[in-house]
Structure 1
């Protein structure tokens, strides 16, 4: 087996760590998290006095089994999912869980440029599609006018009138 690159080795270690974390999380969920030493004291405090940030409406696609898991826990499954995401965010921000990427709320200049390019391309594509649809409608209208003129000519010829 060829030697792994540093990036591949780091990915393998991260995957192993993730698997261990998920195994431990499953055990915590099975036996209960309340009072667990695995949950930082600050998190327990957070549950008592949750922050109430402004909500943002979002369309999100999730794996069926993830949704089924949270729905099986009863009502307010979306709130529970939000809390899990918040916990992950806070662990990253607090440095409890780290990863290869830097967490930043402001896009870099490169990311902003890439995003703007995508938006401009989407606008150009929509404009092109609208123009093509308008041309299609115009050509349909021209065809109808030509068919009507032809049918009027045929009718006039059958009636013996000059077209």
Structure 2
């Protein structure tokens, strides 16, 4: 019944629930005070609505993965695990291509901005300015951000090449 109420049940399930509601007073009461015609009108499955909900969930999931991967990459950049960024950042670029398609170039640019801010703040917190100047901090932040952005750009390129290679001919 909940799937029928949400409009995501199959036609067979919807018909089965309607038949059951016609003969069962208890279920009819828990369903609500609707007639058979009202039930049919409110429970017809709308493919566009269902696909829209699924697409929205996939977008949110991919954005969460990209954000978590970026944060993980930034956190591990400070130690021996930084070499895993060679795997993490291209994956972020690939997910970015899946999510943004033609605007996937925003992924490396956004990653550059985010990592530049992250590395700069980390340098300020670690007290790097006591040993070097602001120019060195900016150049170090830009250097690390460019490397991470290049890795994500490789991921976007790989995803685009795979998409191009496996797209269906119409």
When normalised by structure 1's length, the TM-score is: 0.27
- Structure showing greater Rg: 1
> Hey, which of these two has a bigger chunk of helix by percent?
2
1 or 2 for the larger relative contact order (CA 8 Å, sep ≥6)? 2
When normalised by structure 2's length, the TM-score is: 0.27
